[in-house]
Structure 1
Amino acid sequence: MDTREEMQKILDSLAQQRDELIVQAHLAKLEAMEEWESMEGKLTQLRTKASQASNVAEDAAKDIKAAAKQLAEEISRGYDKIRKLF
């Protein structure tokens, strides 16, 4: 194989790698956006629960607090997942 063919082979390989990374980056962006939208909805739910907790009796507030804590943990895991996509 001559120098020109070798260089073309290298360029072709790099072009293929680049194209694959473009596709992967696009898919990661879509996945991150889907996860982000899901976390935004959960954050809205958490804010609602926090607001409810201040307006109810102590027993009910404990239940709301437990549910809110679980939701906060889900949101945190979701943010971690998004962070890993970058």
Structure 2
Amino acid sequence: MRPGLRTRGFKKVRKKLPSGVLTTHFKKENPSRHKCGVCDSELHGLPRMKPIRYSNLNKSARTVNRKFGGSLCSKCSRDSIKKIVKVIVKVNENVE
């Protein structure tokens, strides 16, 4: 086996060739899904690919087009925006 393939980053797949011989093919595993920074749920709308391929995508395919898109899920981003608005309203009430 080639030294470059002796890592745990490759998934070993047994393949039967047309000649009937069994061989081992090495397949690079996909990275895990992106997770929310607050609740650890999976983020939707983000591709699951290796960083080198991810950098070749255009920006609209890489992120979700909203505040905190790509780092927080929709529920957590909604909650954080509500918290920010409550703080701003409270500050404005104290000023007046």
TM-score (norm 2): 0.27
Higher strand share: 2
Higher helix share: 1
